[in-house]
Amino acid sequence: MTKIAILGSGRVARVLAGGFRDAGHEVVVGSRTPDGPAAAGWAAAGVRVTGLPEAAGLGEVAVNALPGAVSAGVLGGLAAELSGKVLVDVANAVEPDAAGFARALRHPGGSLAEELQRALPGTRVVKTLNTVHDSLMARPGSLGTPPTAFVSGNDADAKAIVAGLLADLGWPAGWIIDLGGVESARVPEAFVLMVGDLVGALGPVPFALSVAR
């Protein structure tokens, strides 16, 4: 069992918190508004909600489920709490269009994962699951075609830990591809630029990026 801190309390956080809890891990959720109205819903689900610094300090592994636009700024302030830990980054940092879809990346020529690694030099950042609809993150087998979970990060041991956590969420080893260092997150992060057009072509159905081989 691993104590996992989910940093963020939105839809992605709920999916991952439920998946990790069902797999037997201890989960604490860190929220920017821990006393807000959403806290009652978390309590009813049996998940403790606290402020971001406390959650980050409690977790053995942390998950960035904050909006991508604020992730680097918010998490950069938690360097002490996250020092020495693995940070799983599942966010996409984009400039949205009027419909809410990505029209541009906030870190062109780089990636959010790289920004987080620069802001948190003592933390082992691993990028994954950002090419998967949130409803599929903890139930990838629900798609007709096996999706791919890409993994990017500079630390091999950290990536092995994340691969184990992905397995707990239902991702077989054959569906996981280690792309290399944290800079390899750039292309998976750019996938979000296709999402609006794919929704236009396919309709509002859950989908994920998959590598056929």
The amino acid present at 133, given as its one-letter code, is H
Q: What is the pLDDT along the chain (213 residues), one digit of tens a residue?
A: 799 999 999 999 999 999 999 999 999 999 998 887 767 778 777 789 999 999 999 999 999 999 999 999 999 999 999 999 999 999 999 999 999 999 999 999 999 999 999 999 999 999 999 999 999 999 999 999 999 999 999 999 999 999 999 999 999 999 999 999 999 999 999 999 999 999 999 999 999 999 998
The predicted pLDDT at position 41 comes to 77
Task: Return the pLDDT at 120.
Answer: 98
Q: Distance of CA 80 to CAs 33, 61, 194, Å? A: 21, 14, 36
Give the whole-angstrom CA distance, residue 70 versus residue 44. Answer: 28
Give me the pLDDT at residue 35, please: 82
Evaluate whether residue 210 is within a structural domain: no
For residue 66, being part of any structural domain is answered with yes
Q: Is residue 207 part of a domain?
A: no
State the total domains in the chain: 1
Residue 139 lies in a domain: yes
What pLDDT does 46 receive?
79
Please indicate, yes or no, if residue 151 is contained in any of the structural domains: yes
The beta-strand segments (E) located in the chain are 3-7, 26-31, 48-51, 61-64, 86-89, 94-96, 102-105, 124-127, 149-153, 176-180
Q: Domain containing 108: what range? A: 3-202
CA angle at residue 172 from 47 to 115, to 5 degrees? 65
pLDDT at position 163: 98
Residue at 131 is within a domain: yes
Characterise 170 by phi-psi region: left (phi > 0), alpha (psi -120 to 50), beta (else).
left
Letter string b/e over residues 10-22, b meaning 16 or more CB atoms within 10 A of that residue's CB: eebbbbbbbbbbe
**What pLDDT is stored for residue 30 in this prediction?**
96
- Is 208 a member of any domain? no
- In CATH, what number is assigned to the domain containing residue 34? 3.40.50.720
Structural domain contains residue 212: no
Dig out the tokens for 79 from the structure: 């360097």
